[in-house]
Structures are given as structure tokens and as C-alpha cells.
């Protein structure tokens, strides 16, 4: 689970490959008043209703085979919002899983030229904000891509459960430490640059603020090689 505001992971849960991703929803520490954005794979009405009962809010892509009855339409829709309505699920099992009404928003994405259909229990926010909330979900995809590219987690040095968890947690911890340092020191550098500078300065006793102010990015690239620093190159798991 990725916190968009702080740009750091807020929760991590590692399972065996055979475990369905949707089961992770059962162990997320939900907070009242917070928004949780899920991809369509997490569209489980029973679990979404639990979030609703905790006074938390969710936004999730609707499944293509959704069965519902429209109870109320909103008029004077903003640009790119094709419909904004309150619905009641009519499927036998879905109605039992989510017995209350739910909001459905249809959004036309001009950039991708495709329609998105969202379900949410947040009935108090504008429809465009619902679409914007879901758009921010892409940040978690970028986060995993960043980890794989820059923290060298493409392959594992050990295959036991403990070895895999150590390597994954080490990558997450490294990312969080750098993000915290960036925030506290108000560094005008990307997370990748900060990691590169740290990677070639592990034995340097120069104070951090001085280290970042005097080091040029091109110099770092030359010393670290084409692939950037490998935080796990000196460790055996």
C-alpha cells in the first residue's frame, strides 16, 4: 500500500505466489476517513463493505459484468464525466455482500481515449475527484518499477522464504530512508540521484548536506557505472 501524499509505502504484506492478491485486503490497517484506491482485481464487495463500515472510503474499478439498478442520477456533469449515479447492486450474492447503495462514476480519459467506470462509497466529493483519486493509483506501479530498476530487486540472491523477505524488506527500508532524508533535508535531487550519491559514498565521512551540495550528478554516473548502484552487491542472503 503506497501513500501518495508522503510518497512512501504505508503497508507491505508478502505472501506465497498462489495466494490471491485480494486476500491482502483483510490485513490492511484501515484508518477512518482515509481513502483507499484499488485496481479492478480487488473488486470484492464483501471486503469493500467492511471498509465502508469502518468509516473509510474506497475507489475501485468496476467489473464489466456488474449488475445494478440506477436509483438516482446527477445532472450538469463536468467535462469528461459521462455519468454520475447512485446504484443498488442487484446480483443475488453481490447484494448480500454489499447491501447499501453505492456510487458509480463513468469517466472518459482523453489522454488514453478510453472509458473508466469507478465504484466508490464517497458520495460527498466531486466526480472528477473520484477519477483523480484513481489516477493516483498508478503511483504504486511506478514505485515497484522504480524498486526493480534502481534497487536491483530483479533477481533474488536466495530462494528461501526468509531470504526473499529480507531482500524485499531491505529494498523498501532503503527507499523509505532516502525518502525521509529527502523530505527532512529538502534536497533538490531525485531519489535516484540521492541513492547513487550514497552508493559511492558509503565510507565517506563528509556530512550529508555537504556531500549532496558538492557532488555533481554526472560525476556520480561515471563512478557508479551504466546500471547505477547496486545496494545488494555486497550482501549474501
Q: Tell me the pLDDT tens digit for each residue of 41-99.
A: 899 999 999 999 999 999 999 988 899 999 999 988 999 999 999 999 999 999 999 99
Ranked by mean pLDDT, the top range of 132-136, 148-152, 187-191 is 132-136
**Is 151 a residue whose pLDDT tops 60?**
yes
- Residue 117: what pLDDT? 96
Q: Average pLDDT, stretch 202-218?
A: 78
- Residue 218: what pLDDT? 56
Give the model confidence (pLDDT) of 115-133 as tens digits: 999 999 999 999 999 999 9
**Is 195 a residue whose pLDDT tops 70?**
yes
For 170-176, the CB contacts below 8 A with 24+ separation are 170/231, 170/232, 170/235, 171/147, 171/231, 171/232, 172/9, 172/12, 172/147, 174/231, 175/8, 175/9, 175/143, 175/146, 175/147, 175/151, 176/8, 176/9
What Rg value do the Cα atoms of the chain yield, rounded? Answer: 22
- Residue 217: what pLDDT? 55
Q: Contact at 8 Å (CB) between 39 and 21?
A: no
Q: Average pLDDT, stretch 12-21?
A: 89
Q: How confident is residue 158, by pLDDT bands cut at 50, 70 and 90?
A: confident
Which stretches within 98-187 are classed as H helix? 127-135, 138-150, 161-185
Amino acid at each position: 500500500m503506497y501513500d501518495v501524499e508522503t510518497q512512501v509505502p504505508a503497508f507491505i504484506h508478502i505472501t506465497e505466489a498462489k495466494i490471491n492478491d485480494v486476500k491482502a485486503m483483510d490485513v490492511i490497517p484501515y484508518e477512518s476517513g482515509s481513502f483507499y484506491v484499488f485496481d479492478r482485481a480487488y473488486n470484492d464487495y464483501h471486503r469493500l463493505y467492511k471498509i465502508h463500515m469502518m468509516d473509510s472510503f474506497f475507489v475501485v474499478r468496476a467489473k464489466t459484468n456488474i449488475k445494478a439498478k440506477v436509483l438516482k442520477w446527477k445532472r450538469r456533469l463536468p467535462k469528461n464525466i459521462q455519468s454520475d449515479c447512485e446504484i443498488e447492486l442487484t446480483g443475488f450474492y453481490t447484494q448480500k455482500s454489499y447491501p447499501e447503495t453505492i456510487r458509480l462514476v463513468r469517466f472518459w480519459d482523453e489522454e488514453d481515449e478510453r472509458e473508466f467506470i469507478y465504484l466508490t462509497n464517497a458520495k460527498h466529493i466531486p466526480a472528477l475527484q473520484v477519477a483523480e483519486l484513481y489516477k493516483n493509483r498508478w503511483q504504486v506501479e511506478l514505485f515497484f518499477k522504480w524498486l526493480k530498476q534502481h534497487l536491483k530487486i530483479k533477481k533474488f540472491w536466495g530462494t528461501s522464504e526468509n531470504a526473499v523477505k529480507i531482500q524485499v524488506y531491505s529494498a523498501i527500508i532503503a527507499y523509505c530512508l532516502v525518502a525521509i532524508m529527502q523530505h527532512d533535508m529538502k534536497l533538490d535531487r531525485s531519489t535516484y540521484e540521492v541513492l547513487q550519491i550514497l552508493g559511492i559514498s558509503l565510507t565517506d565521512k563528509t556530512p550529508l548536506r555537504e556531500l549532496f551540495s558538492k557532488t555533481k550528478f554526472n560525476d556520480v554516473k561515471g563512478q557508479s557505472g551504466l546500471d547505477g548502484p547496486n545496494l545488494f552487491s555486497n550482501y549474501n542472503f
